[in-house]
Every structure is written in structure tokens, then in C-alpha cells.
């Protein structure tokens, strides 16, 4: 995956501009930022920052940290930040092995990357590990119909035939985490998971 995105980095932003679902992706990024409920002075980590497409939707008074597996994507991100006169602390690394201490970020999020990670369950636990007690984790990703973790919603009316996304998230959360909301987006092709870490520190690593 690192080699793939290193090769593709120079074309990524151009490809995003011509994609048929460009507007949908922009709305997904906006939704993720809105769900984070960011406040001035917060430390925010984006796992899988890519070329920085979400940066324009993040308030200027939030300190941004970004991690990506691809050096070349980070290089493009750095250039984009300079052009937008924005700043962010950029790191190369794997989502399943975040190079940060525990409980250092006020919020953590990812848009469109979890299904591509080699170990999304471990990445989820890492994201929980690095967020502060009381902090929020937001995950926006595709609903993959072949994923065995997705089951039909048992509900009446319009929801009856929809897919329930992100069941694997529930099964990989520490038992102490009870506050989680998962909602379908973009005509049930994507989902948004909002996870609230308890105000007391967890021992899960």
C-alpha cells in the first residue's frame, strides 16, 4: 500500500478533482469534522491524512497532526499546506502502530481509509489509545457489502432493508466504551462512526 500511494501521490489531487463522487467525498469530510465537535486549542490527529484534503474544513484554531503510510503523499500534503498558509505536524507511519504516546490528542479521525488498512481492528484500538479520556474518535468509511460484519438492520419502515455498517467496530471496542453512534451516509454507501472515550483512563493498549 505504501508503494502504491508513493507512486500515485503526484496524481492523487488531480484524480480527486475529476472523480464522479467528488462532491460526496467533500460532504463526508465536512461531516467528519462536524462530528468531532472541535474547540479552539484542541489537538487533532488525522490518521491517513493523504494530501490534506480535509485540512480546509478544520478550524484554524485547532492544532493538526497528520499521519500517513506514504512519504510522497506527505510531501504533497506539505506543499498543499504551504499554498493554503496552513500548518500541520506530519508523520510517516502505520495506523496499526501509531508513533505517539497514549492520551495525547483531544480527537482522532479517519475518512475513507479504515477498509484499506492491513489491520483495521488494531488501528481502531490505537486511535482509542492515543485519544484523551473524554475525547472523540470519528471514522467515516465505505460500507462493503462483502464484509461479513455487516448485517441487515432489524427495524421497521424505511430502515428495514438497509445494511448495518461497522459491526466490527462494536466487536473490537474495549468493554469500557459504551458511547458509540454509527449512521449510514451517502445513500447507505458510507457510514460515520462516532466513538466517545470515557472520561476515566482506559488500560487497553
The predicted-structure confidence for 121-178, as pLDDT tens digits, reads as follows 999 999 999 999 999 999 999 887 544 343 333 333 333 334 456 677 887 888 889 8
CATH class of 2-196: alpha beta
- Residue 176, pLDDT score: 87
pTM of the model: 0.86
2-18 helix and 22-36 helix, angle to the nearest 10 degrees = 110
- Residue 155, pLDDT score: 35
C-alpha cell at 79: 506543499
Q: Which of 145, 62, 146 is nearest to 108 (CA)?
A: 62
Q: Tell me: the pLDDT tens digits for 20-68? A: 788 899 999 999 999 999 999 999 999 999 999 999 999 999 999 999 9
Dist CA 54 CA 61 (whole Å): 15
Judged by phi (left if over 0) then psi (alpha if -120 to 50, else beta), residue 9 lies in alpha
- Residue 164, pLDDT score: 55
Task: Read off the pLDDT band of 203 (50, 70, 90).
Answer: low
Task: Read off the pLDDT band of 12 (50, 70, 90).
Answer: confident
Measured CA to CA in angstroms, residue 136 lies from 11, 36, 45, 194 at distances of 32, 6, 11, 7
Give the other-Cβ count within 10 Å of 197's Cβ.
25
Q: Tell me: the pLDDT tens digits for 80-110? A: 999 999 999 999 999 999 999 999 999 999 9
Q: For 59-78, what is the mean pLDDT?
A: 96
Query: Which stretches does DSSP call E strand in 27-148?
Result: 43-47, 63-68, 89-92, 105-111, 131-142
CB 123 within 8 A of CB 173: no
Amino acid at each position: 500500500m505504501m508503494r502504491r500511494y508513493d507512486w500515485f501521490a503526484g496524481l492523487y489531487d488531480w484524480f480527486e478533482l475529476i472523480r464522479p463522487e467528488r462532491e460526496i467525498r467533500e460532504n463526508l469530510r465536512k461531516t467528519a469534522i462536524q462530528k468531532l465537535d472541535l474547540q479552539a486549542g484542541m489537538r487533532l490527529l488525522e490518521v491517513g491524512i493523504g494530501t490534506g484534503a480535509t485540512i480546509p474544513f478544520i478550524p484554524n484554531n485547532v492544532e493538526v497532526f497528520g499521519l500517513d503510510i506514504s512519504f510522497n503523499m506527505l510531501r504533497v500534503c506539505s506543499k498543499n499546506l504551504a499554498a493554503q498558509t496552513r500548518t500541520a505536524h506530519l508523520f510517516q507511519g502505520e495506523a496499526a502502530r501509531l508513533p505517539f504516546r497514549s492520551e495525547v490528542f483531544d480527537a482522532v479521525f479517519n475518512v475513507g481509509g479504515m477498509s484499506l488498512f492491513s489491520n483495521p481492528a488494531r488501528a481502531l484500538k490505537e486511535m482509542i489509545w492515543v485519544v484523551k479520556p473524554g475525547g472523540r474518535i470519528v471514522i467515516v468509511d465505505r460500507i462493503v457489502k462483502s464484509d461479513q460484519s455487516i448485517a441487515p438492520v432489524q427495524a421497521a419502515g424505511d430502515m428495514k432493508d438497509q445494511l448495518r455498517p461497522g459491526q466490527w467496530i462494536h466487536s473490537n471496542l474495549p468493554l469500557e466504551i459504551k458511547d458509540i453512534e454509527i449512521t449510514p451516509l451517502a445513500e447507505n454507501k458510507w457510514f460515520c462512526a462516532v466513538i466517545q472515550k470515557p472520561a476515566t483512563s482506559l488500560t487497553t493498549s
